[in-house]
Amino acid sequence: MCGIAGIVSQDSTALRTLALERMVETLSHRGPDEHGLHIEGSAALGHSRLSIIDLSSGQQPMQLHNGRLWITFNGEIFNYVELRHELEQKGHCFSTKSDTEVVLHLYQEYGPDFVQRMNGQWSFAIWDDTRQQLFLSRDRMGVRPLYYTTAGSAFIFASEIKAILVHPRVGRHLDLQALDQIFTFWSPLPSRTAFKNIHQLPPAHSAILRDGHLKTWRYWKPNYEWEADDSPRAVGRAADQLLELLLDAARIRLRADVPVGAYLSGGLDSAVTTALITRLAPEKLRTFSVAFEDAALDESLWQREAAAFFGTSHDTIRCSAQDIGAVFPDVVWHMEQPVLRTAPAPLFLLSRLVRQSNFKVVLTGEGSDEILGGYDIFKEAKVRRFIARNVNSKFRPLLLKKLYPYMGPIQKQSPAYLQRFFHVDPSDLANPFFSHVPRWTLTARTKSFFSEDVHRELTGYDCIAEMQSGMPEEFSQWDSFCQAQYLETAHLLPGYILSAQGDRVAMANSVEGRYPFLDYRVVEFASRLSPALKMKALDEKYLLKRMAKGMVPESILSRPKQPYRAPDGASFVNGKAQEYVEEVLSTEAISNAGIFKPGPVRMLLDKFRSGRPTNTGDDMALVGILSTSLLIDQFIHQTRKQDSTCTTYSESFATSS
């Protein structure tokens, strides 16, 4: 896994070299092993390499066809061995053993549609000198990021926004509509980012830049059309098919010229991933996990049990609220967007442990909940629909208390309050976003902290309407369970899970995550399953559990689902966090930034520091306000995590403009 960057412009070679060197330097954490540049004509490509396949060659940017094609590539093509053989049968000759060279030959043979042949996780740019065009692409599920902007006549792209921002022609401004989206959906809607005029290429999209015009298109999407067959024989066949697909997905994801480890969280998904690896690889597997000092969040008992069951060599990092507070500014720097939870911080510390253990690659269980029906939000929606069909029942509303047994405040509320909180009303049933209304409503309460200026700027803007305008035409025809799955898979998964909790915190420590459950063949298979095979009554991931019987410890297979959570507001009350929290959330700093109201922010902070009872809304508000303020401090004002450009560099561009 690597970092990529590039500029297409008519600026002089010297100026583009200065800019590109700085961009690549900014991405050094993504690829500390080697750096490379190629500048010719109007194209300038840069690369920072984390060498995993073909360590001795495979340097980038890489050329093909006497320099008529050049690529800077971030990712892995897991089926590159099979694709290479196919290309050799067609007469292609290779000079390296890398998957990067396979990508170039695929483009040469099939043109831009070749991405549909690849099984992997990628973002890349190919400069086609013959056609004078730049071809960009991002993998189906959005595992790897790709950002771009235009500044004057220059087109600038990179794996991370911070690399784009070092270009002196690029402005640094917060996108308030994107902030409104984050404070509703937890992430911005593509192609928005937290920064105005800086865009992300959406997952499963490709683009061509030619003559200054960018054409973008979608090349893949899941299909939720299914036929009901819940007979025992059909369920058995489906379980066998799922196992076969997952085994092959794990097999090709073990391809590497460096050791491969795995995350072992104590839950079903990571246990299945570990089981797959131990079936495929004869050597002793190294596994890694996070444990928490807070017993309500800790899963170390199941982690140890799983490690013993699989016979892995296991390492754990123990994480306290103070540890989270201490590293949170670094986490925001790498996430490049506000967040409403501290959950990425422990995973940042975990990837640091992985790297310190001399591992560059880990397999993890992300994606299983989204595609196989594991999230509480799916169960919640089923219960809410059941109640809404008979709202006068005395007994149905009691089911709401069973949804979140680990959340004390919910258990204390009356059924009438819970019905209002969970939007249980017959009139809500027609809402295409029924499954997500409670979550979005709760999250949107944080917008009460927005300043009057921000509210004024957002007057007339409706993020829900923007979300709806981007839905597939067939969305309204899908089963309600599938609608909920799509919202999680198409938005929360790439926008938050695979970004803030995945690529960004792993690559901060030069660690690559690989996800067998997100093999596109597994995703397509799961999308065609009957919802009853994903959640049977209220039994989540029914088919996966059926498949995993005997593969994982029985205690993990039968344990109640415990979502991954970390200490939130408590992380910023004591320890090293106190100093920077007081600084960035001071009345003066909040007033100067102009995003939030100083008075309510101070009252919220005092509530946490006084030890008075707080709730989930308070936690989200504090983490959201703090992460936004840190982002402004680091990227807009550049007063905390400086990433400034030398004077001569800026002056050189100013002179040439």
Q: Please give the pLDDT value at position 421.
A: 83
244 sits in which H/E element: helix 232-253
Structure tokens at 219: 């090349």
Per residue in 426-476, pLDDT tens?
888 889 999 999 999 999 999 999 999 999 999 999 999 999 999 999 999
Residue 656 confidence (pLDDT) above 80:
no
pLDDT of residue 650 exceeding 70: no
Q: What is the pTM of this model?
A: 0.95
Residue 581: is it exposed, middle or buried by C-beta count within 10 angstroms (0-12/13-18/19+)? buried
Nearest-angstrom CA–CA distance, 83 and 77: 9
Mind listing the pLDDT tens digit for each residue in 256-306? 999 999 999 999 999 999 999 999 998 999 999 999 999 999 999 999 999
> Which of 100, 35, 109 is CA-nearest to residue 62?
100
The per-residue pLDDT for 581 is 96
Query: Measuring CA to CA, which residue among 474, 239, 267, 521 is closest to residue 369?
Result: 267
Write down the mean pLDDT value for the chain: 93
Instruction: Give me the domains of the chain, ranges plus CATH numbers.
Output: 2-220 (3.60.20.10), 232-372+487-558 (3.40.50.620), 574-636 (no CATH)
pLDDT of residue 651: 42
Q: Angle 604-608-609 (CA atoms, 0-180°, nearest 5)?
A: 115
H or E segment and range at residue 527: helix 520-527
Active-site residue list: 2
The mean-pLDDT minimum among 29-33, 141-145, 378-382, 572-576 falls in 572-576
Q: Is the pLDDT of residue 158 over 80?
A: yes
**Residue-wise pLDDT tens digits, 165-182:** 999 899 999 999 999 999
Rounded distance between C-alpha atoms, residue 395 and residue 405, angstroms? 18
pLDDT value of residue 648:
37
- Asked if 634 and 329 count as a contact pair (C-beta separation under 8 A), the reply is yes
- State what percent of residues in the chain have pLDDT above 90: 83
